[in-house]
Structure 1
Amino acid sequence: MPRRAYGGAVNGLFLTIGFLILLPTPTNGIELNGYYKNLFIGSETIIGPVEDYWLDINRLRLGLSERWDKMEVDLVYDNEIQLGSYLDTIQFRQFAERDDPRYWDLQGNTIDKNDVYGTHQLYRGTVRLSGDKADLRVGRQQINWATALIWNPLDRFNPLNPLQLERDERTGVDAMLLDYDVQDLSRLSIAYAPQHKPSDASAAIRFKSNIDVVDWSVMAGEFVDEKKLGLGFAGQAQLIGLRSEIVFSDPDTSDEYVEVVLSADYTTDDGIRLVLEGYFNGDGESDPSKYDFSLLINGEKLGLGRNYLGGSVGKEVSPLITVALYGISNLDDHSHFLYPSFNYAVPAFEDLYVGGGAQLFFGSAQDEYAFFSNIYYMELTHYF
């Protein structure tokens, strides 16, 4: 990474800390939190020569919040050290040298050697101003307009890759978000994410409201080179939660297309959570020979095929142990993805958790999920 990225991140951090020091004493005190995570991964590369590798990620995340009468400042800062044979692969170098899409230069390298790779970033950093009906948030943040649980074509500012290993991690977007409460249960939201090249900026507006037991929303916006119009619905039928997202897209360089998600979730009396979700991708290919895997790797598309079925099963086996199974099937090429996992709260140590699992891929040559390699991982997380 260029030295400019490192310097920009350090300067941005010191400016923010200085800003906090100069502000009046917060009315509710300073809140500090964070975690340390060790994530150990074993797999093989999918870019360049096929090589077995191991990777050990050590992440220290520190959060600080200060609140005043109508203003709140939130900072979440990451320092990460990576070790392992993965650092010697072409795949690692290709991902490490990609340009960062975020507007502010608040991330960079601390060390880049053959056996150690260190990074730091402002993971979240926002200033929030609140009024009686309006709420303005500026900075690096998550803008989550999703309705469904696995595929979220409505969620374009912070899209989640359905194959992502750490499903609770979302890259922040540098943006302005204005929320205005029109009335009870009705909210108007306007978001703008700038870019140094104005044509790459994203802007959208959403209105969310409620009719009887159904929450609904409508979204319109332009994201880089695509205009989008979307609808979202979430309701309840007896004990079954029902959700849907419908998004119409008009790209500048290709034909119009539609994406549709239908989702249902149910929790049994025994505490087993079941999710079943279908996804139609009008921009996908029914012929695997036409797949462009770079779109999936870069997070530009939620899937390369047209018809998908996904779901999950999760249960808290005991107050200490949670298990889950998450999976996706491409109904066109008949390839599959399974993600079993567990999480264990270590009783002898408060806020210490041990987890693990695997991402397993099945399919024939050229199929979507046959492209990826199985991943096996263990993780240890301590919250404070």
Structure 2
Amino acid sequence: MWKKFVTTTFIVGAAFYMVEVKAEIPGLQPEKNWDLTGYVKYMATGGIPDHGDNTLDHLIHQRFNYEYRFSSSFRFNAGMRNRVLAGDSLSAPFYSEIIAADNGYFDLSRNFVDNDNMIINSQFDRLYFDWKGDDWNSRIGRYRVNWAMNTIWNPNDLYNSYSIYDFDYEERPGTDAISLSRKLGFASSIDFVYSPNKDSNLQRYSARYLFNHNGWDMQVLAGRSGLDNVVGGGFAGDINGAGFRGELTWFDPWKSEYQGQSYAKTIVSSIETDYSFGGRRNWIGRASVLYISEPQQAIDAAVYLTLPLTSRTLSFTKFTGYADLGFDITPLSRFTVSGSYYQDGSFFVGLSNSYSLSDDWQLLTVLQRFDGNSGSLFGESPSTLLFANIKWSF
């Protein structure tokens, strides 16, 4: 049934994309009640470990974003990502299981081809209905619950945590949930979210109050996130032209142990700032510090960088720092250097350049270096990764 549904979605999506609605009177084309956008991109990845064989991987990543508007207040959205993977990483243990993994209540991810030479995977990461009234808004399905104030680490993001090193998935994962929101005034609202799980121990629900005070956006939230009762808050504003943001969440586990993993009361907080220096090169810098009072130790670097994160596991050390600086080489080319440092002596350095080849084509090249002191997590298996990514958007 799932395969029939995916096949039907492909056919319907292709039909919508191929059909062009033309008005009989020039300049009076009727407004469409649907949109179909997306992209196709190819990425080559070269892995150069300090101790081991070099690897080469290939990824073709295609995406559909579809929206149908039943009325001005009611719409349907679907986002589907299709990936073809080939290369040396396919031989890694549990690699195909990681590619096919779906953490939602509904399993909307499938490997249609899975062998030693190729994996072809399709996944719906957006599939929801949205209703908006004058003051009320409701949404049901799979979507992104974005309660973050920060742009790097998000302790308040109880539903959609992600790795800061994953640049290829700009949409970020979604979650299966039901939400209800009400506007209370200028930049003020109250939001409720419930996200079920087949394991009742891991269900999530929370409420947030968002408001503005003297030009500063602020929020407080409370609820349950899996094995934890949570209370948190965040703020965002500016000081003398520099952006200044912060988030803090208190995790109080109602189970001290689950599936062999022990849990302790934990504070996760992060403060960050950014500043635009302007000028012809459009210099912009960011910096952030993350604190976790009781971090969970990672098994190894590969596991930490591959498995999904939660707002509890944004890092594996108490203190972690991050900074980046970007500028325009030309109006069509932007260069960014970034780095992070962990308390155990692990560090990351990244270089990236995005170049606009045309209105619909973009070239992205990235270098990532994971290393560290002897005995540190990244230092145990230092490596360099090289990426070349070309993308066509439609």
- TM-score scaled by length of structure 1: 0.87
Aligned counterpart in structure 2 of residue 84 of structure 1, from 71, 82, 87: 87
Tell me the amino acid that sits aligned with residue 89 of structure 1: A
Q: Is the 8 A contact 1:162 1:302 kept in 2?
A: no
Tell me the amino acid that sits aligned with residue 384 of structure 2: N
Shift of 1:295: 5.8
Aligned counterpart in structure 1 of residue 374 of structure 2, from 346, 365, 368: 365
What's the counterpart of residue 260 of structure 2? none
- SS of the equivalent of 1:276 reads strand
5+ long unaligned stretches in structure 2: 16-29, 257-262
Shift of 1:135: 0.7
In structure 2, C-alpha distance between the alignment counterparts of 1:295 and 1:362, rounded to whole Å: 14
Q: C-alpha offsets along residues 303-357 of structure 1, whole Å, 9 cap, x if unaligned?
A: 1111111111112222210111121111x222211111010111xx431001111
Shift of 1:266: 0.3
What's the counterpart of residue 379 of structure 1? 389
What's the counterpart of residue 35 of structure 1? 39
Q: Is the 8 A contact 1:10 1:106 kept in 2?
A: no
Aligned counterpart in structure 1 of residue 362 of structure 2, from 344, 348, 353: 353
1:86-165 to structure 2, matched below 5 A, reads 86-90=89-93, 92-93=95-96, 95-96=98-99, 99-165=101-167
Q: Is the 8 A contact 1:12 1:106 kept in 2?
A: no
In structure 2, C-alpha distance between the alignment counterparts of 1:274 and 1:53, rounded to whole Å: 33
Tell me the amino acid that sits aligned with residue 306 of structure 1: K
- TM-score scaled by length of structure 2: 0.85
- In 2 relative to 1, CA 72–272 (structure 1 residues): closer, same or farther, beyond 3 Å? same
In structure 2, C-alpha distance between the alignment counterparts of 1:44 and 1:90, rounded to whole Å: 19
5+ long unaligned stretches in structure 1: 1-6
Q: Is the 8 A contact 1:9 1:107 kept in 2?
A: no
Q: C-alpha offsets along residues 51-75 of structure 1, whole Å, 9 cap, x if unaligned?
A: 4321111011112111123201111
Q: C-alpha offsets along residues 167-194 of structure 1, whole Å, 9 cap, x if unaligned?
A: 6241211111212101221111111111
In structure 1, C-alpha distance between the alignment counterparts of 2:63 and 2:42, rounded to whole Å: 12
Q: C-alpha offsets along residues 96-133 of structure 1, whole Å, 9 cap, x if unaligned?
A: 46x52211122212211221110001121111011111
- In 2 relative to 1, CA 169–180 (structure 1 residues): closer, same or farther, beyond 3 Å? same
Aligned counterpart in structure 2 of residue 306 of structure 1, from 318, 322, 335: 318
The answer to whether 1:327 aligns with 2:307 is no
- In 2 relative to 1, CA 13–213 (structure 1 residues): closer, same or farther, beyond 3 Å? farther
Matched residues, number: 362
Aligned identity (percent) is 22
1:219-368 to structure 2, matched below 5 A, reads 219-251=221-253, 252-253=255-256, 254-270=263-279, 271-284=282-295, 291-293=298-300, 294=303, 297-298=306-307, 299-300=309-310, 301-330=313-342, 332-346=343-357, 349-368=358-377
Tell me the amino acid that sits aligned with residue 11 of structure 1: F
What's the counterpart of residue 186 of structure 1? 188
- In 2 relative to 1, CA 247–16 (structure 1 residues): closer, same or farther, beyond 3 Å? farther
Q: Is the 8 A contact 1:153 1:247 kept in 2?
A: yes
In structure 2, C-alpha distance between the alignment counterparts of 1:200 and 1:12, rounded to whole Å: 28
Shift of 1:368: 2.8
1:42-53 to structure 2, matched below 5 A, reads 42-43=46-47, 50-53=52-55
Q: Is the 8 A contact 2:96 2:114 kept in 1?
A: no
Tell me the amino acid that sits aligned with residue 80 of structure 1: R
Aligned counterpart in structure 2 of residue 74 of structure 1, from 77, 92, 98: 77
The answer to whether 1:203 aligns with 2:214 is no
Shift of 1:215: 0.7
Q: Which has the higher mean CA deviation after the structures are superposed, 312-321 or 86-95?
A: 86-95
In structure 2, C-alpha distance between the alignment counterparts of 1:16 and 1:197, rounded to whole Å: 32
- In 2 relative to 1, CA 360–50 (structure 1 residues): closer, same or farther, beyond 3 Å? same
Aligned counterpart in structure 1 of residue 56 of structure 2, from 54, 57, 69: 54
- SS of the equivalent of 2:77 reads strand
- SS of the equivalent of 2:330 reads coil
In structure 1, C-alpha distance between the alignment counterparts of 2:185 and 2:389, rounded to whole Å: 44
